[in-house]
Structure 1
Amino acid sequence: MRLPVLVSAIALPLLGLSAHAQEAGDPAAGEKVFIQCRACHQIGPTAKNMTGPVMNGLFGRHSGSIPGFNYSEANKNSGIVWDEEVFREYIKDPRKKIPKTKMIFVGVKDEKKISDLIAYMKQFDKDGNKK
């Protein structure tokens, strides 16, 4: 009879560990992480497509959908709608998530830096204005 209680006592803290690894990030720290993205991407009210598309309003957007940017067929046809989980997977290794993408980037592997980057990027709506 005590087994379910024991399982719950073990499982609940473990669930907390995975949630902790993806806790809310620090936008100010994320702005520093974004520096490595700026070689190809812009974000904010004056952002323009460069080697990579603008990052305004990324979350909730379909991959390959920024007007005027020349996406790879792989990116346009990926079927991805960007959310935190998909972005976490992508930013660690873009070519693993979307094989044949044009994006050449070694990735961000550190979970805290990814959380910070997400917090920074989520501040910007589709027009580049801070929410």
Structure 2
Amino acid sequence: MSDRFNTTAGWALFAGIIALGGGIVSSKLTHGERPEKMGYEIEGVEAEGEGAAAGPGLNTLLASADVAAGEKVFAKCAACHTINQGGANGIGPNLYATVGEEIGHGKGGFAFSEALKTKGGTWTFENLDPWLASPRTFAPGTKMSFAGLGNPVDRANLIAYLNAQGSNLPLPAADAAPAAVDNAAAPAGENAAEGNAAAPADNAAE
């Protein structure tokens, strides 16, 4: 009986060793760890954050800008700026009739930073837009501490409001819509069969 028990125990131990070894080999062959990329890629679907730059251009946004909405956005500026005609300079300059003015000059002798005084140009719509998006990027070294407006619609509305306060320059027309792409092109051999007929071819300154 002792021999039979020893034999049975030996076979059981051997089977356990074989099972353990098989599991190790199997895990190596099948790469049990989590794959680097989960799921499947779907063509035509943008990852989050991609295509952020897409959207209407500044001219289009200005053409449909809401001055009343821009006045509400200006509330973020009111702690440092006045905008009424003849208003006093504060932490920032008075902004009456700013659109069209020379950058970093005027405003009743306000002490502009060298970054703005040497920037050059005027406060066009095209200059105001990047300035309002990020003053420090537009004029590195500016004293303007405002972080900027990330929403292009808010910027367009604010520019339209600033323009309405004493500047009153004409707003640009909306950009033309992109031409539609004709995807119904005839197969390459079809034209040859028909005698090779050609197919028609924008301080808020501180």
- Alignment partners' CA distance in 1, 2:161 and 2:102: 19
Matches within 5 A, 1:26-105: 26-65=66-105, 66-105=107-146
Q: Which residue does 1:115 correspond to in 2?
A: 156
Deviations 1:78-113 (A, max 9, x none): 103101111001100001000101000110111111
**Which amino acid in 2 is paired with 1:53?**
P
1:20 Cα deviation from its structure 2 partner: 3.3
Q: Which residue does 1:23 correspond to in 2?
A: 63
- Alignment partners' CA distance in 1, 2:56 and 2:75: 29
Greater RCO, CA 8 A, separation 6+: 1
**Which amino acid in 2 is paired with 1:106?**
A
Deviations 1:15-41 (A, max 9, x none): x94353443311111110000001111
In structure 2, the CA distance between the partners of 1:17 and 1:25, relative to structure 1 (3 Å rule), is closer
- Alignment partners' CA distance in 2, 1:109 and 1:99: 18
Secondary structure of the structure 2 residue equivalent to 1:122: helix
1:124 matches 2:165: yes
Q: Does structure 2 conserve the Cα–Cα contact (< 8 Å) formed by 1:29 and 1:117?
A: yes
> Share of identical aligned residues, percent?
36
- Alignment partners' CA distance in 1, 2:166 and 2:136: 26
Where structure 1 has 5 or more consecutive residues not aligned to the other structure, the ranges are: 1-15, 127-131
Q: Does structure 1 conserve the Cα–Cα contact (< 8 Å) formed by 2:62 and 2:160?
A: no
TM-score (norm 2): 0.50
**Which amino acid in 2 is paired with 1:30?**
G
1:46 Cα deviation from its structure 2 partner: 4.6
Which structure 1 residue ranges, 4+ long, deviate > 6 Å from structure 2? none
- Alignment partners' CA distance in 1, 2:146 and 2:74: 13
Deviations 1:24-66 (A, max 9, x none): 3111111100000011111012521000001111111011112
Question: What do you get for the CA RMSD once the two structures are aligned?
Answer: 1.8
Q: Does structure 1 conserve the Cα–Cα contact (< 8 Å) formed by 2:62 and 2:157?
A: no
| Larger Rg computed on CA atoms | 2
